[in-house]
C-alpha cells in the first residue's frame, strides 16, 4: 500500500522557520517526481516546489529564495525547509509523488500531475 506521511508542521511566528518531512512507503521503486503543495483556507491547492530524480528543483515564485526542497539520498525522505515565513504561508502542506519523471523538470508542480498524496500537515504563521 502506497503511503506518503508528512510531519514537521506547527505554529511559528512570522520570520521563523519550519522543516517539513515526507516519508514515502509502499512504492516498488522510489518515486522519480515528488513535490510539496499547500492549501490555505478557502483557496485552491497550489504547488510550492518539486524535486526530480536527478535533483532538479522548481519553486513557485512566492517561495523562491525562502523555501528549499531536498531529498535524503539514502532514505528517499523529502524535505521542505521553510525560512522567513510570512502569514501568507499558512495552510495545510501536502506531499505528492508520482513514479514517472516525464515533465518533472519545469515550473512549479501542478496538482493534476500527481497520483499519490499524503494527508497533510498544518503550518500556521502568526504575527
Q: Please check whether residue 125 is in contact with residue 90, taking contact to mean a CB–CB distance below 8 angstroms.
A: yes
Q: Please check whether residue 13 is in contact with residue 86, taking contact to mean a CB–CB distance below 8 angstroms.
A: no
Residue 59 has pLDDT above 80, yes or no: yes
Average pLDDT, the chain: 95
DSSP string for residues in 46-95: EEEEEEETT--EEE-GGGTTTEEEEE-TTT--EEEEE-S--GGG-EEEEE
- Label residue 126 by pLDDT band (50, 70, 90): very high
Amino acid at each position: 500500500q502506497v503511503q506518503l506521511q508528512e510531519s514537521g508542521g506547527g505554529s511559528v511566528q512570522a520570520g521563523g522557520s519550519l522543516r517539513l518531512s515526507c516519508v514515502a512507503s509502499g512504492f516498488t521503486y522510489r518515486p522519480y517526481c515528488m513535490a510539496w503543495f499547500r492549501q490555505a483556507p478557502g483557496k485552491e491547492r497550489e504547488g510550492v516546489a518539486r524535486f526530480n530524480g536527478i535533483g532538479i528543483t522548481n519553486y513557485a515564485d512566492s517561495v523562491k529564495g525562502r523555501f528549499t526542497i531536498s531529498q535524503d539520498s539514502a532514505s528517499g525522505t523529502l524535505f521542505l525547509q521553510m525560512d522567513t515565513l510570512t502569514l501568507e504561508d499558512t495552510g495545510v502542506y501536502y506531499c505528492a509523488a508520482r513514479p514517472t519523471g516525464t515533465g518533472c523538470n519545469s515550473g512549479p508542480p501542478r496538482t493534476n500531475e500527481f497520483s499519490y498524496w499524503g494527508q497533510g500537515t498544518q503550518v500556521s504563521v502568526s504575527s
